[in-house]
Amino acid sequence: MIEELLIEIGHLVSPEWWYQNAIPLFNILIIDLTLAGDNAIVVGMAASRVEKSMRAKVIFWGIAGAVILRILFSGVAQQMLQVIGLTLAGGLLLLFVSWKMYKQIIEGHEHSIDHVEGQLAADLPKNQQATFWSALWTIILADVSMSLDNVLAVAGAAGDSTLVLVIGLAIAIVLMAVASTYIAKLLAKYPWIAWVGLIIILYVALDMIYRDSHKIFCAAYGIGCSETIWEGILHRLGFGPGGGT
């Protein structure tokens, strides 16, 4: 994986590399934008439950935990998705993520970022305050789910490119660490961004299912070896190499 990454880094100066990976990089950017807003709401809600003097510390460690989890998950995600059958399982899991996102968009968030910011600025009665470790544990449990969703979607969009996965991870971490609150407000103001993100994640899920199903049939029977849904459509229409396979 490291050798492949070093080879790809050498291609960064090539316009052809950026042209070939423009669509995956765009998909990853939208995926990261769409999923980063939830992190601000979850961390903010948990931090608002502790004593005011500890809230900045809870937010810092909550974000740090999410960063660590994303790095750990991304370290194994792409390698695991190379195993025939696991990409199919990952695609099915992303379908469930798509369903959760659809429900959130339709029903609206239970807590808006403005509501969360209001709670962070307010004092909470002593008898309603949570401990530092209780709030941090709440964030970490939520981070496990959000990190898995993000890394799985980014790894699926990156395909076989390790460098695209690393760039996607870096974008996710930066957005989450320095701009998640702004992104949450942006998504509330322009909900169409969330719909675009949902469509892209749904496409990535279906593409993962399609690609791995074809790998299974290709390995077993030597037929149906198209790599992506788009290539499969082109083949069926008689375009591209191997138009009928």
- By mean pLDDT, which of 5-19, 55-69, 149-163 is the weakest? 5-19
Dig out the tokens for 53 from the structure.
């003097």
CA neighbor of 157 nearest in space, from 91, 98, 213: 91
For residue range 138-149, list pLDDT tens digits in order: 878 777 878 888
Find all residues with CB under 8 Å of 234, minimum gap 6, and list them.
Answer: 240, 243
pLDDT of residue 244: 44
pLDDT of residue 199: 92
pLDDT of residue 93: 87
pLDDT of residue 151: 84
pLDDT mean across residues, the chain: 76
User: 86 vs 83, 94, 152, 221, CA distance in Å?
Assistant: 6, 12, 11, 19
For residue range 85-135, list pLDDT tens digits in order: 788 888 888 898 889 888 877 876 555 666 666 656 666 666 667 777 888
Dig out the tokens for 9 from the structure.
């880094």
pLDDT of residue 243: 47
- The sign of the CA dihedral 23, 229, 193, 144 is negative
Run of H or E including 51: none
pLDDT of residue 161: 77
Mapped onto helix, strand or coil, the DSSP state of residue 243 is coil
pLDDT greater than 50 at residue 163: yes
Distance CA 34, CA 201 (A): 10
Q: Does pTM surpass 0.85? A: no
